[in-house]
Amino acid sequence: MSEIWQGPIEKIDDYRWRIPKSYKPGMRVDGIIYADEKLLKDIRHDKAAEQVANVAFLPGIVKASLAMPDIHWGYGFPIGGVAATDVENGGVVSPGGVGFDINCGVRMLKTNLEFEDIKDKIKDLTCALFSDIPSGVGSKGEIKLSAREGKDILIKGAKWAVEKGLGSADDLECTEENGAISGADPDAVSERAYLRGKAQSGTLGSGNHFVEVQVIDQLYDRQACDSLGLFLGQITLMIHSGSRGLGYQICEDYSRDMVHCLSKYNINVPDRQLASAPVNSPEGKAYLGAMRCAANYAWANRQCLMHLARRAFERVLKMSWQKMGMFLIYDVAHNIAKIEKHIVDGKEKTLCVHRKGATRAFGPGHPEVAERYRKIGQPVIIPGDMGRNSYLLTGTKKAEEETFGSACHGAGRVKSRMAATRSINADMLLKELESKGIMVKASGRGTIVEEAPQAYKDVNDVVDVVAGAGIAKRVCRSRPVGVIKG
């Protein structure tokens, strides 16, 4: 285990901890970490808390540098980090505050199928999903793009896929930003980034990306469940993927090129990985235009993946996806920077909200929440590892007040991929998962070991903090029965 972080952490309450801005000269705000005593022990064992303090140096940052309970070490920002900068008062945007997999995110589908009715088909469904959905490093899909379509997908996002017959208009209503954020600028995307994404639409990718067949095993909010059409024993599906090579290249391009902005705009940060530029500068505008292209590509990608998943279900169960009730509940982004209005010190301000490994969690009545969800709040999806639970929650007004309407995005790693590979046996892991009724298909045994449950925090602990702190409200819990991994 790595050396324990020795910086100051002050307890605010059972779920919040403060790194005071007096810790390091140059911090403009405090750091706030959402965690309990148990999770805090894990957080102290990597560099994430130091990164929370470093983010507090960013020009224009308001309130605090925030960290969700799934926080772990990342590039520049910690994964699980949230920071908002004041656009009109020198606020900056940082590619490190979004990450390499721009708009990596999760979508959750419901069905009208019950586990007891199809439990003998889980193996067939898992194999069909693995067969139909390209996965793994550098995977390429059957959905090919012409030069013109390559630009269209960057602007239209999921709507591009729906126009191609890969879904329905209802899917767009149930996707954050209706599946396409405005302001995308294809001219701000390098030729290399475009080429890397050209053949990857409708592909899962590698690492922690997955498609899971799940069954709901616990209901918490009956009213919300009734509103969403969810019930105990119901089969659901989760899809986790992002912008693939396109997003990675955009982050690499701008992280490198923005280093010169540190001296140009007199930005003083303790880590070059926090390279940034004022939101209203030419460099800031260019990055946001390119980042939005990658975000739209990711929404289109998950729309294509959902189409392939629906098709696999149709082939195995001999029914149309509509008859099976395979409708999208919601799709959330968790690596993105967005221009939003929030109340800070009693005044409405225009902010650039960085959510890196964090999910938007707007509460009931928020105008940006889809009308069908406005009474209960925006759906928030928090998946766990492949051996434990995943959760559906809803956003809250308290999240809007405290975290710029943000919650966490998953369980969060406690072991690096290399450490997991050294300490976990693939055969034993697969037998353990099989004994729990979980079938796993992956493009390589290395991925299975890297993504072992032991490599992650227990998502149940993480969600306890999110719910206990009041920044999201539990709706239901599900467990995996069929998993495909990249």
Mean pLDDT of the region 431-442: 92
Integer Cα distance of 246 and 203 in angstroms: 12
Instruction: Assign 410 a pLDDT band (cuts: 50, 70, 90).
Output: very high
* Domain-wise residue ranges, the chain: 10-485
Q: What integer pLDDT is reported at residue 1 of this predicted model?
A: 44
Q: Does pLDDT of 278 surpass 50? A: yes
pLDDT tens per residue across span 368-392:
999 999 999 999 999 999 999 999 9
Identify the residue whose tokens are 């902005």. 261
Least confident window among 62-71, 159-168, 199-208, 267-276: 199-208
Provide the 10 A C-beta neighbour count for residue 469. 23
Q: What percent of the chain has pLDDT over 90?
A: 84
> What confidence tens digit (pLDDT) does each residue in 185-211 have?
999 999 999 888 877 777 887 778 999
Backbone angles phi, psi at 81, to 5 degrees: -95, 145
Q: What is the arithmetic mean of pLDDT over 61-65?
A: 98
Closest CA to 341 of 316, 368, 378, 365: 368
Query: What is the per-residue pLDDT across 246-262, written as a single tens digit (0 to 9) for each?
Result: 999 999 999 999 999 99
Predicted confidence at residue 141, as pLDDT, reads: 62
Residue 174 CB coordination number (10 Å)? 21
CATH 3.30.530.20 fits 10-485, yes or no: no
Q: Please say if the pLDDT value at position 455 is more than 90.
A: no
* AA letter at 165: G
Burial class, 401, CB count within 10 angstroms (exposed 0-12 / middle 13-18 / buried 19+): middle
pLDDT in tens, 5-26: 999 999 999 999 999 999 999 9
Question: What is the model's pTM?
Answer: 0.95
Q: What whole-number distance in Å separates Cα of residue 380 and Cα of residue 412? A: 16
Active site residues: 409
In DSSP terms, 235 is beta-bridged to 215
Q: Which two tokens stand for residue 25?
A: 């000269």
The C-alpha torsion from 127 through 133 and 138 to 141, rounded to 10°, is 140
